[in-house]
Structures are given as structure tokens and as C-alpha cells.
Structure 1
Amino acid sequence: MRFKLYIEYEGTRYSGWQIQKNAKSIQGKILEAAEKIFGKIKIELKGSGRTDAGVHALCQVAHLDVDTMLAPEIIRIKLNDELPFDINILEVEKVNQKFHARHDAKLRSYIYQISTRRTAFGKPFVWWIKDKLDFDKMNKAAKLLIGMHDFVSFSDKDEEEKSTKVFVEDIQLKKENDLILIRIIASHFLWKMVRRIVGVLVEIGRGKLNENDVKKFLETKSNEPAKFTAPPSGLFLEKVIYENEKLSNDFSALIKIYSFTKKQTKNS
């Protein structure tokens, strides 16, 4: 039987989603929990895609193959009983055996959080930037990245990727009190692509890069964006979008959970 899992996690303590030797991963922890529940029968768990070390997920999607008579809700409860505090199964549903969490995904969205003030509580979830950022310049430059482009300058070499061309559906920037939120929606993402896009936009906000630099990075392979890679702490896999699903333009889900900025304080 195949089950679709909706998963949230705080990635701070993990090497990422994918199982790795001698490293703690989200996929590995869920498989460990499943083995405790189902015993030694064959179990497979496939995610919609990888997230890097330290990156979080509001709603990662995976499919679980296991021969069981347990109802989806019972599976959810039992998995959560075995999982550590920073991984939570939001929902489990039975799906057709042909469903594939990765191959059937149409779009994926990530949100990056930048804090414009020092915070005692939000450090694991933001990139705190002391410098004043020009939001309008960042927003304008981000639009240049929309569409089909070669993002080789924004990624590290990955043997699993056959092409560095990616279709970016949209990039949205929003100010929310002391937060700058950057949402990127695309067909898929290359290794470190989102964090390097964010890093370049921040340099534009600082006034150290401009729109022409963005055009140059898209037209010619450059190692320069690697110097500006944003830390993983502020990055969230927001949603994986499948056939007949839509993504809301509302940022409220993220803001509601991590809005440590509601109480205004003096920047320091």
C-alpha cells in the first residue's frame, strides 16, 4: 500500500532530508520510526525533493510504501509517537500506487526569512542582517529571475541534475514588521539555488550589486553568487504543489508560526 505523508520539521539538527552515511537526516528518522511500528517488513519512503542541512519544512511531502492494515490516521499517530520533537507528521492519506511524491510534483515553493533586527528567539529561523536593505531594489531585481533561465551560477555541481535550467513561476517579496519574506516558486530547485538567489538579492539591497549583475549571472556562468550564499536557518520548504492544487499568495501561515517581530523593538 502507498500512503502520502505531509511532514513539517525544524531542520536545525539534521543534515537535510535525504539519508546519508554517518549523518542524521529527516528521512532516516521517519524510516526508523516506521521500522519500530511495522517491524522487518519492506518499507520505502520517498520525498518530493531534498532539503539542505539546517533547512526547515512547513509541508514536505513523501510517499510511504508498506504492507499494513492500519488506517492512515493511526499511522500518523504512531509515527509521531516515535519521532523526535522537531519532526511532525501533519497528515497521512492512502493514495494510488502510481502516485510519486517527487515525479508528480508540478511546482515547489520556498520561503526565506530575513530579520532586520537582532532577535533572541528567532535566530534558528532567520538570517539577521544589520545593514539597511533597499527593499524596492531587491523586489525589482527579483523579477529578472522569473521564467526559464540557466541557474548554473546559482548552484553547486550536482551529479543527479541533468540540466541547470529551471522555470521560475514567480518570486514574491513582502515586508512584515521586522521581517523581509522572499517566496520563490519553481518547477524544481538546484542545490543551494534558493540560498544563492537570496544572497544576491541581499547584496542588491545593500547596494553592492545591481540588476546588471543579475543579468550577467543568468547569461554567463559565474562563481560570484557562491560568495553570497545565505545561511540555511532562514529557509523553509513551504509547499509542494500537485495536479489541481493551488498555492495561496498569503504568507500568513509562516508569519503566524514564526512572527517573533510582532512586538516592535528598537533595532540593535
Structure 2
Amino acid sequence: MRYFIELAYFGKAFHGWQIQPNAPSVQEAVEKALSTVLQKEIEIVGAGRTDAGVHAKQLYAHFDLEQEFDEEHLVFRCNSLLSRDIALKRIFKVKPDAHARFDATSRSYEYHIHHLKDPFQYEYSYYLKREPDLKKMNKAAGFLKNYTNFKCFSKSKTDVMTYNCKIEEAVWKKENGKLVFYITADRFLRNMVRAIVGTLLEIGLGKIEVEEMHEVIKSQDRGKAGTSVPAHGLYLTKIEYPNIEVN
């Protein structure tokens, strides 16, 4: 039987989602908790990989297990073993061929920026001393929906079959004195959101013109895009799936 896990985590203490040698990861911590409670070696497959320091308000993973168990009790016991930085929200049965990564139809991220000095924001938001031009950034962000190849925003030497992504939403909003960038696509490349935000900030701070966004994307050259912004302002917020849950 296949089960999905819905979880959230604060990424500061981890070197990303994926298991790595000699570095703590979210995947490793969750597998260890599940294996301890179920007294059976459990391997999980995540919906995607977040980089070191990136947070997730919602992420899914799946695992297979034939023995029966109480889902709510398993969530409770695993949460008691996990650090305060990781929280399992629920575990539920899905169709046997449901896949946490390949069945996801869209993923959404937020990037948070504050420009007024605030000691309570530094671990959750990127501090930018100057406030960028929101109108210019939104105009440039709108161009993203006209393209599909985003190699220019992908981390170099990434082993992928395609650089194509379909962006459904890309917009900046001002909320409670902060700037928040919302972006949704069917898939994302490694480092893509942070590189997009870095490029848009260069536009918002007047370092490059709005229309240059077209040339950056068409170049397919990571060196033409802006510097990646820090990981701690980035949140994976939502993953959408078709009807995969077993009623």
C-alpha cells in the first residue's frame, strides 16, 4: 500500500531536502522517525528538492508499507521524535501508482523581503536596505509567462532532460510592510526561483532595464541573469495533485 505524507519544515538547520553524506537533511530525519516508530526500514520519495536553508510550508512525500497502522497515531509519534524544525501534518492512503514527484501538477513558492530593519525577520525574510520599484518588477515578472525555456535561471551543471517550465503566476505584492513574490509553475529548475528574484531585484533597483528581461531569458545563459538571492527568504508553499487519495 502507498501512503502520502504532508509535512512542513524550517530549513535553516538542514542542507536541503535530499539525503546527503555527512550533512543533515529533512528526508533523512523523516525516514529515521518513520523507521523507528514502524520498526521497519522506510524510504520516502519527496515531491521535489529544496536547497540548503530553504523552507517548506507544504511538501509531500510517499512511502510503501503493507502492514496496517493508525495514521494519526503515526503522525503523533513521529512528531514526538522529530526536531521542532519539522512537522508532519498528516499521512493518508493513496492509489498504488500515485507518485509524490511525478504526479504533482503545480508547485508554488513565495519569496519574502523586508527593507525596514527588524530583528525578528532576519531568519525568515531577506533584508534589503533599499525598497525596489514594485511596478517595474511586476512588469518584468509578467514576461515570464511568455516563455518556457528557463535555462538562464538554472543552476549550472544541472543534469536535467529539459529546461522547459510553464509558469502560471509570477507577481509581487506588498503585504504588512514586506514584499512577497508569488510564483507558480508545473515544475522548477534548481535554483530557479532565487535566480528569478535576483534578476527582478536588479530591475527594481535600477541596475538593468525592464525590457532586458527578454534578453536574459532568450540568452539561455546563467551568467546573464542576476545573482541568486539568499535561501532563507524562500518558501515552498503549495503542491497540487490530481485525484490520488483513496476514499
In 1, Cα distance between equivalents of 2:225 and 2:209:
16
After TM superposition, the structure 1 stretch with the greater mean CA deviation from structure 2, 87-96 or 50-59, is: 87-96
Q: Which amino acid aligns with 1:156?
A: K
Map 1:14-93 to 2 at 5 A: 14-39=14-39, 41-93=40-92
CA shift, 1:116, in A, is 1.7
In 2, Cα distance between equivalents of 1:207 and 1:8:
36
- On the 8 A contact 2:154/2:222 being kept in 1, the answer is no
Q: Which residues of structure 2 form unaligned runs of 5+?
A: none
Matched, 1:115 2:114: yes
Residue identity (%): 36
CA shift, 1:68, in A, is 2.7
After TM superposition, the structure 1 stretch with the greater mean CA deviation from structure 2, 131-140 or 8-17, is: 131-140
After TM superposition, the structure 1 stretch with the greater mean CA deviation from structure 2, 9-18 or 151-160, is: 151-160
Question: How many residues are aligned here?
Answer: 244
The alpha-carbon distance between structure 1 residues 159 and 209, as it changes in their structure 2 partners (threshold 3 A), is: closer
4+ runs deviating over 4 angstroms? none
CA RMSD of aligned residues (A): 1.6
CA shift, 1:221, in A, is 2.5
CA shift, 1:210, in A, is 1.7
CA shift, 1:123, in A, is 0.8
Q: Secondary structure at the match of 1:194?
A: helix
In 1, Cα distance between equivalents of 2:156 and 2:227:
16
Match of 2:212 in 1: 213
CA shift, 1:196, in A, is 0.5
Map 1:221-240 to 2 at 5 A: 221-224=220-223, 227-240=226-239
Match of 2:98 in 1: 99
In 2, Cα distance between equivalents of 1:189 and 1:227:
17
Question: For each residue in 1:188-209, what CA deviation from the matched residue of structure 2 results, as whole angstroms up to 9, or x when unmatched?
Answer: 1101000010011111110111
Q: Secondary structure at the match of 1:124?
A: coil
CA shift, 1:238, in A, is 0.4
In 2, Cα distance between equivalents of 1:227 and 1:203:
7
- On the 8 A contact 1:47/1:63 being kept in 2, the answer is yes
Matched, 1:167 2:179: no
CA shift, 1:32, in A, is 0.8
Matched, 1:7 2:10: no
- On the 8 A contact 2:52/2:231 being kept in 1, the answer is yes
- On the 8 A contact 1:112/1:236 being kept in 2, the answer is yes
In 1, Cα distance between equivalents of 2:209 and 2:66:
55
Q: Which amino acid aligns with 2:219?
A: T
Q: Which amino acid aligns with 1:188?
A: R
In 2, Cα distance between equivalents of 1:145 and 1:227:
15
- On the 8 A contact 2:202/2:226 being kept in 1, the answer is no
In 1, Cα distance between equivalents of 2:71 and 2:146:
38
The alpha-carbon distance between structure 1 residues 225 and 64, as it changes in their structure 2 partners (threshold 3 A), is: farther
- On the 8 A contact 2:154/2:192 being kept in 1, the answer is yes
In 2, Cα distance between equivalents of 1:127 and 1:119:
11
Q: Secondary structure at the match of 2:199?
A: helix
After TM superposition, the structure 1 stretch with the greater mean CA deviation from structure 2, 12-21 or 158-167, is: 158-167
Match of 1:132 in 2: 131
- On the 8 A contact 2:7/2:60 being kept in 1, the answer is yes
Q: Secondary structure at the match of 1:150?
A: coil
In 2, Cα distance between equivalents of 1:13 and 1:225:
31
CA shift, 1:63, in A, is 0.8
Q: Which amino acid aligns with 1:47?
A: G
The alpha-carbon distance between structure 1 residues 225 and 20, as it changes in their structure 2 partners (threshold 3 A), is: farther
Question: For each residue in 1:128-166, what CA deviation from the matched residue of structure 2 results, as whole angstroms up to 9, or x when unmatched?
Answer: 100131111111110001144211111113544111111
